Amino acid sequence: MAQLATTYGKYRAYADSEYDALAIPSDCTETLKLIFTPVNDVAWSSRWYLEFTDGKYIRAVERFQRWPGLTGIAKRMTVAYHYGDIVRRNPDDNLPGYVSAGTDQVDIRIDNSCAPIHLHYQSQNPHISQSSVIGLDLESVDMFIFVKGIFRHRATKKPLESIFKFKIR
Amino acid sequence: MSPVREQVLTLLEVEALIHKFEEKYQVSTTEFLTSTALRANMLDDEVFQWEAFNAHRDELERVAEGVRSAYLGNVKKSTDETHPANNNLALAA
């Protein structure tokens, strides 16, 4: 249930239900448990970090805000779902860090930093726009779809493009 | 009870968090929001948090302004009426 337009109450109910049903693998630790920071029913953000014993990590962050012109509806404005090697840590909180202007390793990343939603696959560059991603609507991916996909990829060793069902044009 | 955590921040708390980033990077939030080069070289999570706190502050201020406007509208309406007691009711609200 990826939602472009929703409310905090609805999204939290969905997140609680997905989180309760999530089976976290034994080689995975939540180094920042999923945390929501709501303002009200139309504005909130969330952060979530999971690390694996082989040095990889997942970061899932989202920010929703009031949808201009639509009363009582929120829109996902910022999104970043990242899976890759831990190449550095933020000294302030010891969480894995990623610098978009660098050469940080990426297995898969979906984000809308500085550009409409796009994909990074197996390297930081290029930024692969939605028009070059066949079979996967990037906007339809939410944090639970992403995290469960990574868990499945690690458990089955299937390639990520097979797990998330996309091809790059 | 859900194991998913939730933190609720007041305007003062959000402003303190924004100030922390401004101190760390020695730039204003406006400069941060407009400098693509600065943002590209920051840790992605710090960019996210700074933007999120700024949006959080904007929304809190928007809500506060809505409450203030509704209150002032109520006071004005009360002064238009002939019963002075209505002012006291509005002020007490």
Domain boundaries, chain A: 5-168
- Give dist(CA A92, CA A76) in Å, integer: 27
B10 touches chain A (CB under 8 A): no
| B7, B39, B44 member nearest A37 (Cβ) | B7
B32-75 residue pLDDT tens: 999 999 999 999 999 999 999 999 999 999 999 988 888 888 88
Q: Determine how many CB atoms are found less than 10 A away from the CB of residue A92.
A: 12
Residue B69 is encoded by which pair of tokens?
């406007």
Interface of B with A in 38-67 (CB under 8 A): 39-49, 51-52, 55-56, 59-60, 62-63
Residues A63, A45: contact at Cβ < 8 Å?
yes
Collapsing DSSP states into helix, strand and coil, what is residue A6?
Answer: strand
Domain boundaries, chain B: 11-92
**pLDDT, tens digit only, all 169 positions of chain A:** 555 679 999 999 999 999 999 999 999 999 999 999 999 999 999 999 999 999 999 999 999 999 887 788 999 999 999 999 999 999 999 999 999 988 899 999 999 988 899 999 999 999 999 999 999 999 999 999 999 999 999 999 999 999 999 999 9
Write out chain B residues lying below 8 Å of A59, CB-based: 44-45
CB contact under 8 A, A35 and B47: no
Which candidate, A67, A78, A153, A75, places its Cα nearest to that of A113?
A: A78
Residues with Cβ < 8 Å from A46, sequence gap 6 or more? A15, A34, A35, A36, A37, A60, A61, A62, A63, A143
- Give dist(CA A47, CA A129) in Å, integer: 24
Please report the pLDDT score of residue A144 as a whole number: 97
Peptide bond into A126 cis (omega under 30): yes
Residue B79 is encoded by which pair of tokens?
């002064």
Residues with Cβ < 8 Å from A100, sequence gap 6 or more? A113, A114, A124, B39, B40, B44
B15 touches chain A (CB under 8 A): no
Please report the pLDDT score of residue B81 as a whole number: 62
CB contact under 8 A, B44 and A80: yes
In three-state form (DSSP H/G/I as H, E/B as E, the rest C), the secondary structure along A42-92 is CEEEEEEEEEECCCEEEEEEEEEEECCCCCCCEEEEEEEEEEEECCCECCC
Write out chain A residues lying below 8 Å of B39, CB-based: 100, 114
Quote ipTM for the complex: 0.94
User: pTM for the whole thing?
Assistant: 0.90
Size of interface A-B (CB pairs under 8 A): 93
